[in-house]
Amino acid sequence: MVAKVHDNEESSTAVDHNDAGNGEAVIPMDPLIALLHHRHAFTSSYTTAEEKTAAQSAIIAKIQENNMRPYWQLMSDMLGWPVDAKRAAEMDKINELALERLTARIKDAQDNLGDVEVREALLAKCDFYASIGDLDACLKFNEECSGKTLAPGPKLDLCFQRIRLGIAFSNNDVAAKGITDAHRLMKDGDWERRNRLKVYEGLYHVFIRDFEKGSSMLIDSLTTFASTEILDFKQFVLITVVSALPVLSRADLKKKVIDSPEVVSAGIASINELVSSIYNCNYGQCFAALDDVCQEIRRFVFMSLHVNYFFREVRVLFLNQFLDSYSSVTLTSMSAAFKIPVAVLDQMLCTLISNERVAGKIDRVSGSVTTYRGNATNFEYHRIIKQGDLLISRIQKLSRMVEL
């Protein structure tokens, strides 16, 4: 909620390097984002029965505490949870009374007070809808409150609230619109809000699997991270390194990740093991370290949808890194280096070579892999041709649908 985040920015004095990462005042996690994490824990197939029970209990407790009738209905629709009719009626009555008071406050401000008081009354109603998990109503009053706001700082805070609502309800359109609106106002924004927008936007791009753009923004925010209202510092480092690993060059990996004091201070053993095994060419540890990281990010709501993609991309990364050192290498020695069976490696390479992810060919007679080093222009030419054919095919399908 806008007001609570802003108040914490001004008055909180607690400092924890593990949470904020840079000595800034720690902002509590947005309640709707916290519920998103619990919801993922409940629905994930990689959490234990005890963790699912704990997550469900946490969600229900928050719903009961804040009379979150709309959010309860959302959970019922999404997860099939039963809704107690008597308790739901009690919540509706409590919320109706609260809304009547807020509506009367808005009317009084409009009739007897100034624009500042009207804005504060609208913001209070907006925050109330956020507190009960009513996305549509909150967005409506957020937009109305934004129209009454002139100062760029508070107007940006309303954009940030829309982005958080989009993230909390997994609505990419809402988050994208909030980011677009924030960019239009950012020329008058302060450095703290600029850093916050960079984190929000980077997280959004990672969420839609634009790792290159997302990781660039997140890496730039490592030293200034203070957006603990959406994720803590260790989670931020994890998502930053995971999104950066498939897209960074070897030199940039060393400069921006391995030598980063913020990454080191986070102390995430699994991600450190994977990065060091790739950079130091400890190929025997690569697959085990990659599996450990994949198991970890499966439990992380912002990365869970991209686990298979991340696995494939990092696998291509260290296989190509290994093959770049040879013009020809036997499957036996390569499987020994990676500590995986020859048959598994053979099948893996066949798939990657046919998909043009690995430049080489397999000689089954000699049991070897011969690498092919084409020039970058040639590879780019074939990539454009392939993408062009795919685009033409999609246009033809679309034209047939239009004709029907």
pLDDT in tens, the chain (404 residues): 454 444 333 333 333 444 454 445 578 899 999 999 999 999 998 999 999 999 999 999 999 999 999 999 999 999 889 989 999 999 999 999 999 999 999 899 888 888 888 888 889 999 999 999 999 999 998 988 888 877 888 889 999 999 999 999 999 999 999 999 999 888 766 888 899 999 999 999 999 999 999 999 999 999 999 899 999 999 999 999 999 999 999 899 999 999 999 999 999 999 999 999 999 999 999 999 999 999 999 989 999 999 999 999 999 999 999 998 888 899 999 999 999 999 999 999 999 988 888 888 888 888 888 887 665 566 677 778 878 888 888 898 888 888 76
- Residue 328 has phi, psi (to 5 degrees) of -155, 140
Task: Specify the pLDDT at position 187.
Answer: 79
Task: Specify the pLDDT at position 3.
Answer: 41
Residue 316 domain-assigned (yes or no): yes
CA distance 221 to 374: 37
Residue 378 domain-assigned (yes or no): yes
Tally helices (H) and strands (E) across the chain: 21, 3
Q: What residues does 361 pair with on adjacent strands?
A: 370
Strands 368-371 and 360-363: antiparallel
Total domains present in the chain: 1
DSSP for 212-271, written as a single string: HHHHHHHHHTGGG---TTT--HHHHHHHHHHHHTTTS-HHHHIIIIIT-HHHHHH--HHH
Residue 159 domain-assigned (yes or no): no
Q: Which residues of 86-123 are buried (b: 16+ CB within 10 A; e: fewer)?
A: eeeeebeeebeeeeeebeebbeebeeeeeeeebbbbbb
pLDDT digits (tens, 9 = 90+) for 95-109: 999 999 999 998 998
Q: Which domain holds residue 339?
A: 306-403
Task: Specify the pLDDT at position 25.
Answer: 59
CA distance 160 to 178: 7
Residue 201 domain-assigned (yes or no): no
CA distance 160 to 1: 9
pTM greater than 0.75 (yes/no): yes
- Domain CATH number, residue 324: 1.10.10.10
Sheet with 360-363: list strands edge to edge.
Answer: 328-330, 368-371, 360-363
Residue 24 domain-assigned (yes or no): no
CA distance 80 to 73: 9
Residue 131 domain-assigned (yes or no): no
Q: How far is CA 171 from CA 57, 233, 300, in A?
A: 24, 24, 17
Nearest to 38 by CA among 28, 18, 53, 20: 53
Residues in the chain: 404
Residue 15 is given by DSSP the state B
CA distance 338 to 283: 5
Exposed/middle/buried for residue 227 (C-beta within 10 Å: 0-12, 13-18, 19+): buried
Residue 317 domain-assigned (yes or no): yes
- Residue 329 has phi, psi (to 5 degrees) of -150, 145
Location of structure tokens 């999609």: 394
Cα dihedral 179, 26, 136, 205, rounded to 10, equals: 30
- Residue 51 has phi, psi (to 5 degrees) of -65, -40
Which conformational region is residue 190 in: left (phi greater than 0), alpha (psi within -120 to 50 degrees), or beta? beta
Cβ-Cβ contacts under 8 Å for 128 (sequence gap 6 or more): 98, 99, 102
Task: Specify the pLDDT at position 4.
Answer: 42
* Helix axes 191-207 and 172-185, enclosed angle (nearest 10): 150
Residue 320 domain-assigned (yes or no): yes
